């Protein structure tokens, strides 16, 4: 059995750069048509779309949309259906900007509710809205693959980023409930929980001493690169994982074991 992804339509939020762009390239390399969603980086999205079309011979559609804005999401889904007439795979990768800086993070007694709300909107609301409007099209096909991004910090908060981690915990619980509801329609819902991924915009201020500690406690002996996370997404979207739903797969080189 191969991955059987050729011809599928894969939409990846926040995919003009970083892990999202790595997802886009990995799915394109397997023959998927790609929807590159971005918020601000139009030039990067256009360059990536052109690259993937030329290298892999697939169709790529860059679309600007704020996934926390319901009208934007409706427009995004409408454009995808108009172009491709289907949505097979959704990777919810977008989030509000967050810098992982352990020396400047807020302590528990310093975090304001607004901090939590911003991350909940970015992680949970954006994921919820995108899924809300993609699910009806998946139900019509009796097929769908939804992949939501969380973090290994849910299991091992080496740095307690309270607002970020709490929002990602909500995404995991939401995903489990979604999986319970959608299985009857042939739709699977799973999460990927990466550890620190470098280089990305979010990890650029991670101190060398923090990275050294993580490397020392990681059996595979290094920090993840964006392309290290993509194989799990391909697996979850493929026929190999057709009987896998409601799961969270940790991708951190063994730093977290459960």
| Residue 164 designated active-site | yes
pLDDT class of 204 with cuts at 50, 70, 90: low
Give the DSSP H/E element, type plus range, for residue 24.
helix 18-29
How buried is 88 (Cβ within 10 angstroms: 0-12 exposed, 13-18 middle, 19+ buried)? buried
Average pLDDT over residues 14-29: 95
CATH number of the domain within which 156 lies: 3.40.50.720
**Per-residue model confidence as pLDDT tens digits over 39-75:** 999 999 999 999 999 999 999 999 999 999 999 999 9
- Within a domain: residue 2? no
> Model confidence over 70-90: pLDDT tens digits?
999 999 999 999 999 999 999
Task: Give pLDDT, residue 205.
Answer: 62
Give the pLDDT band of residue 2 (cuts 50, 70, 90).
confident
Looking at every residue in the chain, the average pLDDT score rounds to 93
- Does 257 reside within a domain? no
Where residue 210 falls among pLDDT bands split at 50, 70, 90?
confident
Domain that holds residue 105: 9-251
Mean pLDDT in residue range 93-105: 82
- Residue 106 domain-assigned (yes or no): yes
Give the chain's domain count: 1
Residue 182 lies in a domain: yes
Q: Give residue 240's Cα distance to chain centre.
A: 19
Summarised one tens digit per residue, pLDDT across range 176-187 is 999 999 999 999
112 or 205, which is more confident? Answer: 112
For residue 4, being part of any structural domain is answered with no
> Of 11, 2, 25, 257, which Cα lies nearest the Cα of 146?
11
**Residue 63 φ/ψ, nearest 5 degrees:** -135, 125
For residue 68, what pLDDT is reported?
Answer: 96
- Average pLDDT of the segment spanning 95-110: 84
Domain annotation covers residue 135: yes
Residue 213: is its pLDDT beyond 80? Answer: yes
Q: Judge whether 256 lies within some domain.
A: no
Which residue among the candidates 38, 164, 174, 255 is catalytic per the annotation? 164
In a domain, 206, yes or no: yes
Dump pLDDT digits (tens) for 145-158.
999 999 999 999 98
């Amino acid at each position: 059995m191969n991955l059987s992804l050729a011809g599928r339509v894969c939409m990846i939020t926040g995919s003009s750069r970083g892990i999202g762009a790595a997802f886009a390239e990995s799915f394109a390399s397997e023959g998927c048509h790609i929807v590159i969603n971005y918020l601000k980086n139009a030039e990067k999205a256009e360059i990536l779309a052109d690259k993937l079309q030329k290298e892999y011979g697939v169709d790529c559609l860059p679309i600007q949309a704020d996934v926390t804005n319901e009208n934007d999401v409706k427009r995004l889904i409408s454009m995808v259906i108009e172009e491709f007439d289907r949505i097979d795979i959704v990777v919810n990768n977008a989030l509000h900007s967050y810098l992982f800086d352990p020396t400047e993070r807020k302590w528990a007694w310093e975090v304001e509710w607004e901090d939590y709300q911003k991350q909940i909107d970015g992680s949970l609301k954006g994921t919820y809205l995108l899924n809300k409007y993609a699910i009806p099209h998946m139900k019509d096909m009796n097929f769908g693959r939804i992949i939501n991004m969380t973090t290994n910090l849910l299991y091992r908060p080496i740095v307690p980023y309270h607002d970020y981690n709490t929002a990602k915990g909500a995404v995991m619980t939401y995903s489990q409930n979604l999986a319970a509801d959608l299985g009857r329609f042939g739709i699977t819902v799973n999460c990927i929980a990466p550890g620190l991924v470098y280089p990305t915009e979010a990890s650029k201020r991670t101190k060398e001493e923090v990275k050294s500690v993580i490397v020392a406690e990681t059996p595979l002996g290094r920090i993840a690169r964006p392309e290290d996370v993509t194989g799990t997404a391909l697996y979850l979207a493929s026929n190999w994982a057709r009987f896998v739903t409601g799961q969270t797969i940790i991708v951190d080189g063994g730093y977290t074991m459960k």
